[in-house]
Chains A and B, each alone.
Chain A
Amino acid sequence: MLRTLHVAVREYFTTVLTKSFIFGVIFMPLIILAVAFGAKAIMGSGPQLSGTVLLIDRTPNQVVAPLIEAKFSPEAQNAEAQARMKAVKQMAKDKAKEMNLPPDVTDAMDNPMADMAMQQAIAGPRITVRRLAADADLEAEKAKLRPSAQKEETDAADKPIAVMVIPAAAVAPDAAGEFSSFEMFTIPKLDFQIQSRMNSVAGQSVVDARLATSDLKDQADRIRKLLSQPRAEVKSVTETGDQTSVGDLSIFMPIAFMMLLWISTFTGGNYLLTSTIEEKSSRVMEVLLSAISPTQLMTGKILGQMGVGLTLLTVYAGLGTSSLAIFKMLHLLDWSNLVLLVVFFLIAFFLIAAMMAAIGSAVSDMKEAQALMTPVMLVLLVPMMLWLPISRNPNGMFATICSFVPPVSPFVMVLRIPAAAGSVPVPAWQIALSIAIGIVSVAVAIWAAAKIFRVGVLMYGKPPNFTTLIKWIRMA
């Protein structure tokens, strides 16, 4: 028993203390998180975009230019930013309410620090408009936008970034009664946010000017109202009343649970496979078997890799839970589900570990192992590929049947349980039955694996197929 433990301890530490494990398994998610947050920070609080738009208004009396200038005046731009912030905040609050977040989350949004951060994050571009004479030379102005000309400019706010030309026909129809559009020339690679903002402001200003100069100017407001396109707010009908819930984060809980299970079982299982193959091909197996029995060795290795899997499960589940805590969404997580996750982890891990130990002992290299593993892996990919239908209909026929069929049963169960939590929970008897079937199949799998392991570890040469493996089970 003590020796089995020594094997387990060695197996655990030689796996966990390798550079590839530490970097690949522990640092990778951290790096991904860091990159994600870093990217958001870069995009959100980048340098404020600013520049000067040179405006050539060729309409009679230059009716469009004042409208554009008014919209880009410092006051107007500030007011605009404020309004946008308010809208975003309101949207966030509504979303929080939909997701049933506690009220302190929404309260937190109102503190001045949050305001400042948000202002930073959503501040729009700062644009100055300089009106040129109506007969200004377009080509000469356009020349200022060329990259070669740009370098001479020093102050960013004075930097010409675009030339906008509003032709006379933009407001007053031409002989054929058609309106024409305005023209816009920009520096190469102008920020899309500025471009679209200038486009919409100029477009709106042109329309306003058209209305103001037409004979319908008294009815301008009415026309705008008539033309505004309504949009409905979608509400779903539930037991507790109508809800505006559209995107619910809880849809991601089942797949998160299954990914956790998948990563932790397969990482441990893969290490088990490679370490068994390595021990066999380096013949260290014989030295080990001169000290301990094959069953002790296999048990120790499986227990050691179980530790590896549990380490992963703890690290990832811990990361997940703490990020839920940071975003105050812990209510999405049912703690009893975490306990069930560990139970199903053990079942899934022992099934896969038995398979990996048997295959690892029977083959001589990874290539041979792949051939034996492919059919099993295909079966195990089923819950992976069908996660969406299963989590959408967690109590459906397919999902129910799959939860009693090892080796997919633990994976399907961890999908079903959190998925069904919102509506009709998975019946307790189904969970109990699935666990019972799981335990029985683990016992059978370990028994068969021990038989294969005993024969396989000392067999070299021709790689076995499934028929040979079954023969070994009978033989030993």
Chain B
Amino acid sequence: MTPAIELRGVRKTFGPKVAVTGIDLRIETGSVVAFLGPNGAGKTTTIRMIMSILFPDSGQISVLGKASAVESKDRIGYLPEERGLYRKMKVGAFLTYMCRLKGLPESSIAPRVAEWLDRVGLSDCSKKKCEELSKGMQQKVGFVASVIHEPELIILDEPFSGLDPVNARLLRELIDEQHRKGRTIIFSTHVMAHAEALCDHVVMINRGDKVLDEPMRIIRSNFDPRTVLLEPVTSGDPARQAAEHAQQGAAIREVPGVLEVQPPKLGQPAFSISLADNADPQEAIRRLVFALPVRRVELKRVRLEDVFVRLVGQTGGTGEEGSPGELAAAGSGPLEGE
């Protein structure tokens, strides 16, 4: 199957500043891809190059089987990071205008606009000016504008920013619906929960370079070090703590399948226990419970946030944060977890 998007050695510089250092990327048709990365990492620049809004200095981009998005603009939907609406234009008129620019036949426009406004619960706002809407409503109008022409590829830059939980869920459902129709969806976000809930593939970019490009399930297994957290019952006497820990650690090491044990540390009152590759986590837990008195024992869940922090942390953090100049627009909101 031809990929929806393929980048080969794509590089982009703004004057002396290297925004994207040469990315190879392949996005399969029908997948939902989360585009992650800290501020100034080059996400927006990459997305803009995919959209042919910017052109790479070197490297090749193929979008929907064409040499560039220019040839397939009508089959792509794009929601930029900031709302991107005409403030003084009426909602209905704006959507109609976008339909025209996307080359939809004139007769199909009016019913389509009405249908979509109804779906996102904005049918009574058709005659309102965009500036009269709340931030979340504007975001919904922007989303409608990006998908109203039924594109095969949907690119959403920070689609969840400014949405309350109810509308965030509505947007997730809308994205999921597009996914079920077999459309390829790329979205960038800082909220890892949205990425975890929606995507089946993760691309992480840092300092203009791709640092992660894996399906979600592989990430879970790769970055799951088969770790069990175990909080033992202790006397609570600080003087005896070290001795207790040593004793409990020894007991844990006795258990078959245990590879490595990290003692508790400040803020983490549990032993962190790595299991051997061939060990069954369920069996190991059962044995651990018999080996020593425990207060709590659980399998450590790998969260995307941990992966994010680890990968970005490894390469020295965001680095470019706050740098002024031409990439100011490429930045995103502050790095935030849940």
Contacts and interface: CB of A to CB of B under 8 A. Distances in A.
Interface string B84-110: 111111000000011011110000000
B145 A460 contact: no
A306 B217 CA distance: 57
B86 A3 contact: no
B83 interface: yes
Interface in A296-353: none
A458 B45 CA distance: 10
A34 to B, nearest CB: 30
A462 B324 contact: yes
B329 A460 contact: yes
Contact of A6 (B53, B88, B100): B100
A3 B326 contact: no
A284 B86 contact: yes
Interface in A367-387: none
Interface in A174-203: none
B325 A283 contact: no
Interface in B47-66: 48, 51, 53-54
A331 to B, nearest CB: 46
Contacts of B82: 282-283
Nearest to A461: B328
B145 A287 contact: yes
Given A6-B100, A293-B70, A287 B87 contact: no
B53 A282 contact: no
Contacts of A293: 70
A278 B82 CA distance: 14
A361 to B, nearest CB: 13
A287 B145 CA distance: 9
A285 B81 CA distance: 12
Interface in B289-338: 324-326, 328-329
B328 A460 contact: yes
A458 B98 contact: no
Interface stretch (B72-80, B166-174, B179-187, B232-240): B72-80
Q: Which of A282, A284, A460, A462 has the most CB of B within 10 A?
A: A284
A10 interface: yes
B151 to A, nearest CB: 10
A292 B89 CA distance: 19
A287 B98 contact: yes
A424 B142 CA distance: 62
Contacts of B80: 283, 286-287, 290
A430 interface: no
A2 B326 CA distance: 33
Given A287-B80, A291-B73, A10 B97 contact: yes
A282 B84 contact: yes
B161 to A, nearest CB: 13
Given A283-B83, A286-B78, A6 B101 contact: yes
Nearest to A291: B101
B215 to A, nearest CB: 27
B130 to A, nearest CB: 9
Contacts of A288: 101
B81 to A, nearest CB: 7
A277 to B, nearest CB: 12
9 residue pairs, one from A and one from B, having the closest CB atoms: A290-B78, A286-B80, A291-B101, A283-B82, A287-B84, A283-B84, A461-B328, A460-B329, A6-B100
Interface of A: 2-3, 6-7, 10, 14, 278-279, 282-293, 458-462
Interface of B: 48, 51, 53-54, 70, 73-74, 76-89, 97-98, 100-103, 142, 145-146, 324-326, 328-329
14 contacts: A3-B101, A6-B97, A6-B101, A14-B86, A282-B87, A283-B81, A283-B329, A287-B98, A287-B142, A289-B53, A290-B77, A458-B54, A461-B324, A461-B328
